[in-house]
Each structure stands twice: as structure tokens, then as C-alpha cells.
Structure 1
Amino acid sequence: MTRSIPRRGALALAAILALAAPLAAQAQDKWPSKPLRIVVPYPAGGSSDIIARAISQPLSEALGQTVIVDNKPGANGNTGADAVAKANDGHTVLLCDIGALAISPSVYTKLPFDPSKDLKGITMLAYSPHLLVVHPSVKANSFAELVALSKKEPLNMAIPAIGSAAHVAAVAVAQASGARWEYVPYKGGAQAIGDTVAGQTQVLMNGMLATLPMVSNGKLKLLGVSKGTRMPLVGQVPTLAEQGVKGFESGTWQGLMVPAGMPAAQVAKLNAELIRIIRSPAVRERLVSQGAEVNTMSPAEFTSFFDKERKKWADVVKAANIKAD
């Protein structure tokens, strides 16, 4: 036999619930309640780091909290990504090369986290095509000349890390063209750039955002861009697709991800603020002037993109037998 709640009790309960709803909404509105930490899983100076620092101050102003950029490199970004996937403080997010994160499950046999299940996307922020560059001493002034040279003498290709988006892209280019080079992995794009500028390695495949300054000052020679159409900043340089690698396009896609358990209201708030900030004239112009294109997405579009990237590069990884532990 059930008992009904007395009318007076029902009215009291309704009053309590009516008061609780605005309080709960107010608590959500107060997020973040402490400093927000943006984990960049690579050393300072790379594409993800540049973008994180470009948005950190505007995001701090928008959220009313300090925003800290925390470089946490290791294992091609997986160390930092794992830390964010397991964060339970509600104030730790990840800004990384989404392509590299999508490639990791194919390259690493024992990932301590599942990027598809333990993380979720907020928005893409920017796209920077890969540049194929060489040290000025390399006697090649086109991609065809570089391919021919690679068959005559040894060349070292600097890559940000084993299994990075740039590594897999360089493998795809070699497979399509017959180029030969030895891959020299680093802990991030900035270090790979530094050693190529110093002549320790001869060839480099890396994101345009971090690499273009070294091309502009003559410390590196640009031979090709991995984009479907030419980039205005280097319009005189043909794409790799124009130079025989038909249909080829690759690059670094910087985006923001959070632990899978982050509440929907916080996801929506971050998405809206980040899109507003990255599209603002000051930030957009700063990135475009360095070779990055602002490219935003909804969380659903982000998820779809991530799934496609994972499938796209899995075949290249398998064919090249790229593995890391």
C-alpha cells in the first residue's frame, strides 16, 4: 500500500526544488572556479604550443580565471594526453595535434588510455599544412631533385616523433615518390627544426606554423607544401600534389580535448569561447601571418573528424610497419 505525500509536504518539496534549480545553474555558471590548465603534450616552440599561448590570455579574460599553459612532452604527446584523460579536477584540458593523437592507437601497442573513449573534443582551432624543407646546403631546388638526390646519397629526415603526423606524412610521401631517407625522431617539432637548421639533419617535414619563420629568414629551403592548393604566404612554391604526389594533403590539426566526463554545460561554454577567441581578428591575423588557417568545429564535427583521421592513417602505419612502445 502506497502513501501519498501530504499536501503541505508536497508544497515544501516543490519549493526546495525550485530554489535548488537556480543554485545548480549558478554553480555551473561559476565554472571554472580555479585556474584552468592547458596541457600541451610537446616541448615549447611547436605548433600546439604557439596556439595555446595565443589563446591563453583571451581565454583567461573570458573565463575570469588564470589560464596556465603546461608543456608536458613525452611519447609523441601521449604522456600529456594520458594525464588529461585521467584528470579528475574539472580544470585540466588538452591542446594537441589531433592527427597525431588519432594515429597513436595504430602505432603504440600499449597506450595507457583510449583517446576515443577517455577524451572528447571541444573544437578544432587551426590547421597548418606540413612543409617539406631542407637545409640550404642540400643540392636540390625541387621535390623531384630531392627524390633523385635521395637515391644517390644518404639523407636524414627529421621528424617530431615516431608516429607523429609529420612522420606518417613523410612515410606516405616516400611511398608515393620512391624517395629514400632515414628517419631521425625528436621529442617535438621545435627540436627537429633546430637540428635541421644546424645541419645535423638534411630534410624536415613539419607544420607550417612553426617552420615558416626559418624559411622566411633563409635558414631552411622550402621545396613543397602538403596542401591541395597553394598557400598565399609561399604561393611561388608548388604543392607536393603538383609535384607528383597526387591527391596528397597532410598537416597539423590543433584542437582542444577534455576528459570524457566533463559536463555538457562546460563543454558548450568552452566551445563557444574558444571559437569566439580563435576567430577574433587579433588572434586570427596572428596565426594566418604565420601560415595557420583558423578552422573551428562543433564537438560532433570534431568527433567525426577524429574517427576519419584514425582510419585514414591506420593503413599507412600498417604498410610502413611503424611501431613504438
Structure 2
Amino acid sequence: MNGIARAPAWAPLRRRHALGLLAALGIARPALAQSSWPARPVTLLVPFAPGGASDIAARAFSTRLSERRGQPVVVENRPGANGQVAARLLARATPDGHTMMVGSIGAFALNAVLYRNPGYDPLVDFAPVTLAVTTPNVLVVNPAVAPVSNLAELVAWMKARPGRVFHATSGIGSSPHLTMELFTQMTGTEATHVPSRGGATAVMDQLAGTVPISFQGLGSIIGPVRDGRLRALMVTAARRSPLLPEVPTAAEAGLPDFDVSSWQAVMAPAATPAPLLREIAAEITAILREPAVAEALESGGYTVAGGTPEEYGAFQRAEIARWRRVAQAANIVLD
């Protein structure tokens, strides 16, 4: 004998009998450290085409989530109607954590504010998982068309040209569109909206001189700002961006209480169990905060968020309330 006690051959049978007795008596088995989720492949719906911010956020954690949990995690792009096509699919999905959506401020907040009937209610049909990333918008001018160097000069320049100032965005109801509406309301200025076919096209229109000013996502204007074709006057975040450290925040530029971000978040169908939501949120948050993942996202202009379902739910409700006020003041209603 080597001194190691061996379990008798009938021990497994006794253990199964004991577990069956506990079940018969209604006594739960001891909780495992990790649940059995996922039991099969997970689908991450993305309501926009590949290469956009929501797609980037989804792919940032999908591979690692698959590695950590041992099941395929498939990113499925379902673009259409500013996110409404994928959102309706999510609303009808089984609430078991195997279908989720990585979407934008548009899909999870602005559609509910702007459209008469988007076909879903993000506060009723979805369950919050976690805020994934945020990115500030940047107020940029084409210096050849708008020869201004700071916010005060821009406001004076705009007020001297009522009805003759245009701004470009990726589309009606986009984050840059609503950000400009908030800006004009707070500064008493006017700017006519020129919606484009996407963020890249809006930047091209501004570089061509078609429009003098715009709010754009940080990642889309770093190059033109660094080479001098566009001039950045402020970032709409509480802190300066390490990618454009010389550009002041809105508060530093003279516009306090203008902390505005575009964002991407993860949501599940309504009625997904709360413990499962917390488990998934913790897993995604851990992946997003891994140094390699965080560095890759931050190099593209994103700020890693993460957090609990409760934290994201409170944030989402506040965003919907804020942008509803802006849309009502601007009388923006879409069919």
C-alpha cells in the first residue's frame, strides 16, 4: 500500500444517490463556481455593416469569450433601418444568453427618441448586459472655409451667418447629428444639417469644403486633424483624448456641461435571468479590460467601459431622457 486512501468502487453510486435524494427533497445542489453557459454557440447580432464601431466592439471580445467559455461566439451583421432590423430580431430571441446584440447609442437610445414607431422599445424588449466602449465626438472645422481657432471665434462666426452654416453627419438621428443640435441649442447658433451616407463620407464632404463644421467620431478625424486639413476645437468628453492631447475638452473651451459620447453596449432579450446577465457582464468586462484588448481599442479612439447590468441600465435611461429633450426642442421626428 502507498498510504493513499482509495475511494470504494461504490462511492460514485452513493454520491449519485445522495444528489437524487437532495433533488427529491427540494434541496438545491451546491452552486458551481461557473454556470453551464453557454451550452451551444452564441450569436452576437451587430445592427450595422462590418467595420463600424459596433462591429469593432463586438469582435474585440468575441474571440476571447469563445476561448474562455469553450463555445463559438459568432458575430452576425444584420444592418438596416438604423439598427431596427437587428433590434427586432433580438426582441424575439430566446432569453437564455445565446443571442445578444452589440449596438450603438442609435439602436439602444436614439431610435426610441426619434422614431414614431421603431418596432421595439429598448427599455421594455431588452435586458441590459454592459456598456462596452465610449468615444467622444470632436468639433472640427475646415480652416479654409471657417477660419476660426477656438470655440468663441466659431460661435461668433456662426452668429454672423444665420442660415448659411452647414454641418455634415453620418445620417439623420446619428450621434453627431444630435450632438450638433445640442450644441446649437446651448450656444444660440444655427446650423443646417447635411446628412451623408456614412461617417467617412461626411468627413470627405468637409474636407472638400462642402460643409465648414461638424461633430465627428474621434477615430474618423485623427488623420485629417494631425495633417492640418481639419482643425479640432474641442472634444466632447470630460477628459482630453490621449490621441489628440492638445485639443481642449468642451468645458476647457468654454462650454461646460457638454459631456457627450457615442457608445456601444451589449444587450440581451427581455426576461433573461438577472444572474446570467451579471455573469455575462462580468466576463465581457474582464475581456475588455485585458491589456491587449484595451490597448487595441484605445488606439482606435475608444474608451473601454464595462460594468454591471445595473450600471449600464441607469446610464441608458439617462441617455434616453437627455436626447429626448434635445429632439423635442429641435422638433425632430422620424417615420
With the length of structure 2 as denominator, give the TM-score of the two structures: 0.81
| C-alpha distance in structure 2 between counterparts of 1:53 and 1:324, whole Å | 31
Which residue of structure 1 lines up, in the alignment, with residue 93 of structure 2?
Answer: 87
SS at match of 1:116: coil
Q: Is the 8 A contact 1:163 1:323 kept in 2?
A: no
- The farther-off stretch of 110-119 and 176-185 is 176-185
Structure 1 unaligned regions, length at least 5: 1-10
2:142 aligned with 1:132: no
SS at match of 2:82: helix
SS at match of 2:124: helix
Q: Which has the higher helix share?
A: 1
Matched residue type, 1:277: I
Q: 1:158 to 1:264 in 2, by over 3 A?
A: same
Q: Is the 8 A contact 1:130 1:251 kept in 2?
A: yes
Matched residue type, 2:50: A
| C-alpha distance in structure 2 between counterparts of 1:315 and 1:175, whole Å | 11
| C-alpha distance in structure 2 between counterparts of 1:82 and 1:108, whole Å | 14
| C-alpha distance in structure 1 between counterparts of 2:44 and 2:196, whole Å | 22
| C-alpha distance in structure 2 between counterparts of 1:218 and 1:58, whole Å | 38
SS at match of 1:316: helix
Matched residue type, 2:59: R
Which residue of structure 1 lines up, in the alignment, with residue 235 of structure 2?
Answer: 225
Matched residue type, 2:324: A
2:121 aligned with 1:114: yes
Which residue of structure 2 lines up, in the alignment, with residue 171 of structure 1?
Answer: 181
Matched residue type, 1:106: V
| C-alpha distance in structure 1 between counterparts of 2:223 and 2:71, whole Å | 32
Which residue of structure 1 lines up, in the alignment, with residue 249 of structure 2?
Answer: 239
Which residue of structure 2 lines up, in the alignment, with residue 74 of structure 1?
Answer: 80
Identical aligned residues as a percent: 36
Could you list the per-position Cα deviations for residues 201-258 of structure 1 after superposition, in whole angstroms to 9, with x for gaps in the alignment?
4433132244434434555432211123322332211222333322211011221111
Larger Rg: 2
Aligned-residue CA RMSD (Å): 3.2
Q: 1:119 to 1:13 in 2, by over 3 A?
A: same
Which residue of structure 1 lines up, in the alignment, with residue 289 of structure 2?
Answer: 279
Structure 2 unaligned regions, length at least 5: 1-17
Matched residue type, 1:82: R
With the length of structure 1 as denominator, give the TM-score of the two structures: 0.83
Which residue of structure 2 lines up, in the alignment, with residue 3 of structure 1?
Answer: none
SS at match of 1:112: coil
Matched residue type, 1:212: I
Q: How many residues align?
A: 314
